[in-house]
Amino acid sequence: MASFLVEGGHQLTGEITPQGAKNEALQVICATLLTAEEVKISNIPEILDVANLLDLLRQMGVRVDKLSKGEYVFCADRIDENYVGSEEFASQCAKLRGSVMLTGPLLARFHKATLAKPGGDNIGTRRLDTHLRGLAALGAKFEVNENSDTCHITAEKIKGTYILLDEASVTGTANIIMAAAMGEGVTTIYNAACEPYLQQLCRMLVGMGAKIEGIASNLLTITGAKVLHGTTHTILPDMIEVGSFIGMAAILGGGITIKNTSPRNLGIIPETFKRLGIRLRIKNNDIIVPKQNHYQIETFIDGSIMTISDSPWPGLTPDLLSVLIVTATQANGTVLFHQKMFESRLFFVDKLISMGAQIILCDPHRAVVVGHNHKFHLKARRMVSPDIRAGIALLIAAMSADGTSRIDNVEQIDRGYSEISERLNKLGTKIIRID
């Protein structure tokens, strides 16, 4: 188990460029299974979750060639169908959350797939009902093996239909889109997720020959194609990294420029940080966060306490609430955070409390943060990273604390952030990795 030793109190200055979006990468890499032709994808983040998915694809028989850093060519012309139906495959899928999005492409192209209960973060319930009900509506049949937590799925034909999703699940929507892209007839998905990741997936599929209408909305119409062909695709910058860097810049920044952020795809993320009193400006594709000694949390127009909550796109992504909570600890004022989508994601705040943060954990979904206004700093502690986003939040807290903190289980951070210690050290931090 790897650890970070973090010496707190160092100011950050300079420029940093976000990696490619993790969530988009997992989707579009899975989509390469829909064609036997070559697919070239650029700006793939060099992170653990992606590396594990690439290894899984190679085991399935997909040719994966690395052209340069972040640039790969995929060719799924020789899939080992026996391996895909094996217990070993199911076991490998169970270790990786993103493996759930292999189901739609495999079902569309090979008419069978194995769905294992996926791994990943322990942040609360992440049910698969949306996936299964959507695929069932397209004609899939299921055989559940309760002993191994696997589900074998078959579909003689993928037939287009009208689907009203019970929740706007990002991965569920992605699976249904990929299955429908090679189905017969027209599929209409209402209450579809419409995050930039989904928009990018749809654009890539259109480039492969699919016909998709309503991109960027919650009503998608997909006309199935018999065959999809190769294409090229470039992944967006990771909005969660952009938000993480804004939070770091607010707490520790002596002036930071975040390069190539694709602001039009950030939604309300910049405005949410502005609600915490953080000054930032957008210049072309860059976000500039100037040095700011104090930042004042806003109140609502009627004077009531600011509430920040997550919701499906175009609302605030839940992946950034952890960072926003840490950022608020050094603001001036009070803010209520309401984590609606995952019931275990706020449990990391007890570590912030032990560092001296003034936080009231009301219940699994709500936390009130009373900002210190930089009047006193957090205290160094030894901590364990419970998941990707809590891990980066704890890293930010340790960077702002007095003394040297130790964060264990940083492999969780590695799953979502590429070479984060090396990149931050170039800005002035002092982070030592212990493997």
Which residues are annotated as catalytic?
A: 121
Quote the radius of gyration of the chain (alpha carbons, Å): 22
User: In this structure, what token pair is assigned to residue 165?
Assistant: 């999703």
User: Which residues face 72 on adjacent strands?
Assistant: 41, 66
Tell me if 32 sits within 8 A of 275, measured CB to CB.
no
- Return phi, psi of residue 287, to 5°: -115, 125
**From the centroid of its chain, how far is CA 159?**
30
DSSP 40-76: EEES----HHHHHHHHHHHHHT-EEEEEETTEEEEE-
Beta 286-289 vs 253-258: how paired, if at all?
antiparallel
The total number of residues shown for the chain amounts to 435
Tell me if 102 sits within 8 A of 113, measured CB to CB.
yes
User: Which residue's structure tokens are 């210190």?
Assistant: 372
Using CA atoms, how far residue 435 sits from 1, 163, 408, in Å, is: 7, 48, 10
* Separation between Cα atoms, residue 252 and residue 293, nearest integer Å: 9
